[in-house]
Amino acid sequence: MTLDDALRNLRGRFSFPELKPLDLKLPVDRLRREFLRMDYSAEPDAPELAEIRLLILPGAAGNIRARLYVPLGAGVPPGPGILFFHGGGFVLGDLDSHDMLCRRLAEGSRCRVLAIDYRLAPENRFPSAHEDALAAWAWVQERGAAKAGIDPARVAVAGDSAGGNIAAYLAQEMVRARGPKPAFQLLLYPLLQFADIRSKKMTPQESGLFISASLFEFFRGHYLPDPGAYMDRRISPLFAPPDDLKALPPAHIIVCGWDPLHDEGLAYAARLRGLGIRVSDRDYASMVHGFLNLTPISSTARQAAREAGEITGRALGAL
């Protein structure tokens, strides 16, 4: 069965906003309820972890929920960790929508993974999510060892799509602020600029389950309604000046062949390499945007999530 066949079969089993024309009148809370609510119970190789628990962190404007994943091979704390930010265009997504991806990253890396439930738009507009990321980073640096078993000197920032935007921003912001930098960046089909999206006509399968020109405009209108801020380096880290990039940590960037964000991911990798940053990338040419959340139907997605974890674990000295 091809991926397209599997996606067609999913129409009757799961709800994905971009498998049908986006109804901009649909309430955001309904989109959130439907986003990535998949049944992972049938996965043949779902990882068993040593511990999963909820944490409450102080945020920029109140408490932030977070979920800690401790793999069986994590070792004695404090050890290396991954600070993870979910995708969803700054409007959708939560701890549950990316639960299996975090489990697989933890298993593959043998590192503790701390997933952050940052504030979403339209209730909280730019830079709310980015401010919560900074607060989470400060918590990891100050209390991560005692409360989560994470060594603050060996932390990777990671995220998919909009979460990749947050992770890239956080790494750059630490360069600008001359603060404690992440040890590594794992950017999964990241959204790296808010100025434009590739407008080539594609089917929903080709454009990716969770991003298209119309959905990009929907997300941008909710999180960043001011066109004057589209090029702000905090929301468009692809266009940050060289001084913000020269001291960045190493990175691994995953892109997908059927994804409007494909080219900007590779462009960011090229910019970093040109400045002497160690970067690896992996192009899953036959995959769609968001494919790492399709582990119930795709062995490629399951293996890719584990491999991304392994790459990060090796970078942090856990493997």
Q: Which residues are catalytic?
A: 161, 259, 289
In angstroms, rounded to a whole number, what is the distance separating the alpha carbons of residues 74 and 160? Answer: 23
Closest CA to 155 of 79, 237, 67, 72: 79
Strand order, beta sheet including 112-117: 49-59, 62-71, 112-117, 79-85, 150-160, 184-188, 251-258, 279-288
What is the DSSP code (8-state) at residue 222?
A: H
Closest CA to 316 of 54, 67, 75: 75
For residue 21, cis peptide bond before it (omega within 30 degrees of 0): no
For residue 204, cis peptide bond before it (omega within 30 degrees of 0): no
Name the percent of the chain in helix, strand, coil, to the closest 5: 40, 20, 40
Q: Measured between alpha carbons, how far is residue 28 from residues 34, 107, 203 in Å?
A: 10, 33, 24
Q: Measured between alpha carbons, how far is residue 302 from residues 8, 104, 274 in Å?
A: 20, 8, 32
Residues 6+ apart with CB under 8 A from 226: none
Give the sign of the dihedral formed by CA 111, CA 93, CA 264, CA 262.
positive
- The residue written with tokens 């990175």 in the block is 251
What is the DSSP code (8-state) at residue 107?
A: H
Closest CA to 157 of 193, 133, 192, 189: 133
